[in-house]
Amino acid sequence: MKTLLTEQAPGYYRHRMGDIVVTALNDGSLAKPAEILSGIDPAGAAAILRAEFRPETPVITVNAFLVQTPDLTVLIDAGCGTKMGPTVGRMAANLHAAGLDPAEIDLVLLTHPDHVNGLLTADGSPAFGHARIMAHAADAAFFLSEAAAARAPEPAKPVFAMARAALAPYGERFSTCEGGEVAPGITAVPLPGHSPGHCGFRVVGAGQSLLIWGDIVHVPDLQCRRPEVGLVFDDDPTLAAATRRQALTAAAEARELVAGMHLLFPGFAHVTAEGGAFRSVPLMWSALGAHHG
């Protein structure tokens, strides 16, 4: 009897932009009921996902991104850590497989404070011994506010507790930004709606531009076709949908490469616009980690 080999290759993928290297780090995936979607009924969502050869109820890929510049080692988002079940929490292992020790991370940028559990180890201590942590000021005010937590819809409440618990041990190493340059070659781009201070981070190097757009889509095969579809966790669903459409339109028009926390791994894609809908076109896998054209 032969032994079946079932373990995948480590979930990291490097994309090189001159002297900047951006590495996608897979954290796993979360299967969710269709009821987490807003703006579409479960049968409508299932029909689209079936047509796209995806599971008929949403499966949400989770990624983080490592950005290495000549000056800094930056992690963008921190994955789900150890508190969101066995199908996620692989980011730390994939960071290790990619050759990095958490102590080497200088700065963790948060697109919004719900990919934060990975800031903590299983025993609740800081996973990144030296890193500063940064999020948009509007999200810090929102997620760290008792009043906002009390007002939040029931399914969103755990996120508030999670964000506070994950940031507390970092104390004064946590600071906020308002958009603009946050590190050499990295700019925060406010993309509000999913949360008040939800941000993307634009990385520019060697004449290339990459927008790591956070949670612009959670179920890309569905939301590219139907950008009005959101998540019940969206803080402002109307603004989230408008931001999603605007980000998809801008990426298609500028032909800018995007990377997403919930784009299918390895999480880099271009966007095409077709009659009011969009398509994400995965970046061609390259053994050199380089992007041509």
- Report in angstroms how near the CB of residue 293 gets to Zn ion at its nearest: 30
Q: Whole-number minimum distance, CB 134 to Zn ion, in Å?
A: 17
Using the minimum distance from each CB to Zn ion, give the nearer residue, 77 or 283. 77
135 with 101: CB under 8 angstroms?
A: no
Q: Which is nearer to Zn ion, 20 or 188 (CB)?
A: 188
Between 34 and 263, name the residue whose CB sits nearer to Zn ion. Answer: 263
DSSP string, 172-238: GGEEEE-SEEEETTEEEEE--SSSTT-EEEEEEETTEEEEE-TTS-SSHHHHHH-TT-EETT-SSHH
| Helix/strand/coil for 248 | helix
The span from the CA of 257 to the CA of 251, in Å, is 7
Number of residues near Zn ion (by CB under 5 A) = 1
CB nearer to Zn ion: give 27 or 215. 215
How many C-beta atoms lie closer than 10 Å to residue 3's C-beta? 5
Rounded (to 5) percent helix, strand, coil in the chain: 30, 30, 40
- Work out the burial of residue 162: count CB atoms within 10 Å of its CB; fewer than 13 is exposed, 13-18 middle, 19 or more buried: buried
Distance CA 160, CA 150 (A): 9
- Whose Cβ is closer to Zn ion: residue 110's or residue 257's? 110
Q: Residue 140 corresponds to which tokens in the numbers above? A: 């810090």
Task: State yes or no: residue 139 binds Zn ion (CB under 5 A).
Answer: no
Q: Considering the complex, what minimum distance in angstroms separates the CB of residue 118 from Zn ion?
A: 12
* Closest by CA position to 134, among listed 90, 179, 91, 96: 179
> Looking at beta carbons, which residue is closest to Zn ion?
215
Least separation in angstroms between CB 18 and Zn ion: 29
Q: Least Å distance between CB 184 and Zn ion?
A: 26
Measured from the CB of residue 45, what is the shortest distance to Zn ion in angstroms?
Answer: 18
Q: Which of 134, 115, 14, 11 is nearest to 67 (CA)?
A: 14
Q: x/- contact string, 79-118, with Zn ion (CB under 5 A)? A: ----------------------------------------
Comparing CB distances to Zn ion, the nearer of 17 and 109 is 109
State the nearest-atom distance from the C-beta of 77 to Zn ion, in Å. Answer: 8
- Of the pair 17, 241, the CB lying nearest Zn ion is at 241
The total of other beta-carbon atoms located within 10 Å of residue 154's CB is: 7
Q: Which of residues 176-205 bind Zn ion (CB under 5 A)?
A: none
User: Residue 71 burial (CB < 10 Å; 0-12/13-18/19+)?
Assistant: exposed
Report the site for Zn ion in 200-229 (rule: CB under 5 A).
Answer: 215
Which residues bind to Zn ion, rule: CB under 5 A?
Answer: 215
